[in-house]
Structure 1
């Protein structure tokens, strides 16, 4: 398994998907390669956290 160069779908910059990252994804059972560079992934995660993060099931009472 060799390093792969991937283009980020958000900022169009190229980033390296290393052999170690590929092994980690495989170990976790992830089928898809990352589509965003680490900076865009971090920004997207932060944006989701600012929105209240994750799923909301509303008030049950």
Structure 2
């Protein structure tokens, strides 16, 4: 499996979906490739966690 270059749906920048990441996704049974670059995934996760904390208070 060669590395693949994908486009982030949030920031439209290119990012590499490495062979190792592809193997990890396959091992975990994940069938869809990532739609966000690592930076946008991190920001989205942080936003989700902030929203969860607000809702639980």
Please give the TM-score of this superposition, normalised by the length of structure 2.
0.91
Q: Which has the larger radius of gyration?
A: 1
1:21 matched residue in structure 2:
21
Runs of 4+ in 1 over 2 A off after TM superposition: none
| 1:10 shift after superposition | 0.2
Name the Cα RMSD after superposition. 1.6
| 1:52 shift after superposition | 1.1
1:12 matched residue in structure 2:
12
Partner secondary structure for residue 30 of structure 1 = coil
Please give the TM-score of this superposition, normalised by the length of structure 1.
0.85
Report Cα offsets for 1:4-54 as digits up to 9, x if no partner. 00000000000000000000000000000000000000000000000016x
The higher relative CO (CA closer than 8 Å, separation ≥ 6) is in 2
**Runs of at least 5 residues in structure 1 that lack an aligned partner in the other structure:** 57-61
**Runs of at least 5 residues in structure 2 that lack an aligned partner in the other structure:** none
